[in-house]
Chain A
Amino acid sequence: MVYMGLPRPRITSILYHSWRHCTIYTHYIRRFLQMPTLGSEEDDTCVTFVINKEDHTLGNSLRYMVMKNPDTQFCGYSIPHPSEEKINFRIQTRGTPAKDVLKKGMKDLNSVCEHVLRTFETSINEHKRRNQSADIEPMDQSAG
């Protein structure tokens, strides 16, 4: 599968460490930042994740999958300002660490997508076969 993401790494900062030379750090743009609740760093069941470069596309679908988890007590997301591309994703759980709940949500969303993709390709191929178009070949997803 062709790599879908934006090209990396990119320059994000140029730091001057001494008079004589400047050191250039190239690393991934920090996409992910975690904000624990103020004053209680040990309590990892209530966490707000600030995810950069995401919007309603991932936010709403991920929220739905996390809500399907019976461990979740609260889950919601918001976009602090529409001009900035980031979301605040809040999870409160009944005991399990919030990070694990988030990981499970992403894994479930991944499996949903895989199943939808398989079903879709099967349906399309079946439809083509049923209409007996000689020109159209069955869809090949691994082009290139």
Chain B
Amino acid sequence: MTKHNQREEITHRCGYFHGCLPFFLLPTFFFFIIIVIIFFFFTFFLFIIFFLIFCFLFLLFDFNLSFFFINFFFTLLLFFFILFFISIFLVSFKVHSTDFPGSYDGYDDAWNKEKFEKNFRIEVGRLAADELEFDMIGIDAAIANAFRRILLSEVPTMAIEKVHIFNNTSIIQDEVLAHRLGLIPIKADPRLFQYKQNLTSFLLLIADADPTEEDTIQFELKVKCTRNPKTDDPDNMYKDHKVTTRHLKWVPIGNQANIFKEGDIRPVHVTEDEPILIAKLRPGQELDLKLFCVKGIATASYRLLPEITLLKPVTGELAVKLQKCFSSGVIEIDTVDVNVESTGILPPEVLVSQAIQVLMTKCRDLSRELDETDKMEMIQVQKGTSEDEAQSFYT
């Protein structure tokens, strides 16, 4: 890989967003769109003029002269459409922030902590038990998007991961039942639990660590469906034919019974009118399962996901008006409008705090790894050994 030329510096400095179309960045190239729109109307205007001239000539004179102007008419029509499609392409795909050092001559856009702290503020719109809406003003979309991504998939929660099936005579297959159970939100504060430690030995290949009170919650699901002989009413013919989250019973491990009261650890949707339906049974069918919840994040599956819906950040007309007051490029307004809806495990404001802390931890871990890589390279240079041996020296 060679170094990029100096003269290509400015064009290469702009970082491009990967993937989605961030329409909230519209104000940042507002001046660009104005030029496109002016071009638009200019060609459209000319197009109208030539059309009128053509009609005028056609009415007053014979065909010959009017055909001369038809040429211009269609050329402009073609130009009009080409410009239209090109501008759509440019608007949709080429999106980049321009607040980097070097984008504007003489304007210092380097990272200034004091300036950021002075301009940044958060305005809370609505705060309920399971819903939160707030605005972040003065932060760039890249960082706000990182928070959004972490909120959706990397905030740790407790969820059922292992299901021991002792008896399942329902028509729901074992794996389908286990999958459904894994999606149920469990009301347990994940900050009070630790990650499950894997066995650090050869035994990992054949067994799993025993569940301890610090990292596992155990539930029991024992339901047997029977016929109700008392009534003829078809609605009440069966007893326990709907297996819901109300049938999940918490089994305390170790001294969890001392720490948590009865009713602290339960599925989230139990006390309302509509608990989550797990399976349906008929007389003679039964379920006998043991469920183990652990702490984790949604790495491979979405089952550990707190349910959050976020509105895309919207910059209102106010932001654009303010930008017009100054010369182009002086004001970069980035407002992010965030709406967080939680499943009920944790209140939404706690979820956002956790998300921010997750990003901080990522940075710190990466910094530490970078320092460790430095040390390992130094060992490598001194000892003159291969990479694997250098690692074993280090540990």
Size category, B interface: 35 or more
Q: Is the CB of A4 within 8 A of B357?
A: yes
Taking the complex as formed, is A73 at the interface, i.e. its CB lies under 8 A from any CB of chain B? yes
Partner of B191, one of A79, A115, A144: A144
Residues of A near B121 (CB, < 8 A) are 119, 123
**Closest beta carbon of chain B to A69's beta carbon, Å:** 6
- Contact A103-B150, Cβ < 8 Å, known A46-B1, A60-B17: no
Residues of A near B374 (CB, < 8 A) are 99
In this complex, which of B117, B194, B359 has the most chain A Cβ atoms within 10 angstroms of its Cβ?
B359
Q: Is the CB of B364 within 8 A of A7?
A: no
Residues of A near B156 (CB, < 8 A) are 4
Q: Is the CB of A11 within 8 A of B204?
A: yes
Partner of A68, one of B110, B120, B394: B110
- Report the bound CA distance from A78 to B238 in whole Å: 58
Partner of A127, one of B97, B101, B124, B370: B124
Q: Is the CB of A27 within 8 A of B391?
A: yes
Q: Is the CB of B392 within 8 A of A143?
A: no
Interface string of A100-144 (1 = CB under 8 A from B): 001100111111111111011101101110010000000101011
Residues of A near B140 (CB, < 8 A) are 64
- Report the bound CA distance from A66 to B117 in whole Å: 18
- A33 nearest in chain B by CB position: B373
Number of A interface residues in the complex (CB < 8 A): 76
Which residues 90-137 of B have a CB within 8 angstroms of A?
Answer: 97, 99-102, 109-111, 113, 116-117, 120-124, 127, 134, 136
Q: Is the CB of B113 within 8 A of A108?
A: yes
Taking the complex as formed, is B352 at the interface, i.e. its CB lies under 8 A from any CB of chain A? yes
Q: Is the CB of A92 within 8 A of B4?
A: yes
Partner of A109, one of B101, B124, B149, B359: B359
Partner of A67, one of B13, B197, B352: B13
Q: Is the CB of B1 within 8 A of A60?
A: no
Which residues 226-249 of B have a CB within 8 angstroms of A?
Answer: none
Partner of B360, one of A79, A113, A126, A144: A113
Q: What residues make up the interface of B, taking CB atoms closer than 8 Å to A?
A: 1, 3-4, 9, 12-13, 15-19, 97, 99-102, 109-111, 113, 116-117, 120-124, 127, 134, 136, 139-140, 142-143, 145-147, 149-150, 154, 156, 189, 191-192, 194-198, 200-202, 204, 349-350, 352-353, 356-367, 369-370, 372-374, 388, 391-392, 394-395
28 contacts between A and B (CB under 8 A): A1-B357, A7-B195, A7-B196, A25-B392, A25-B395, A27-B392, A27-B395, A32-B370, A34-B373, A57-B149, A58-B146, A60-B146, A70-B102, A70-B110, A74-B4, A74-B12, A76-B16, A106-B370, A107-B367, A110-B364, A113-B360, A116-B122, A117-B356, A117-B360, A120-B353, A123-B124, A139-B350, A143-B192
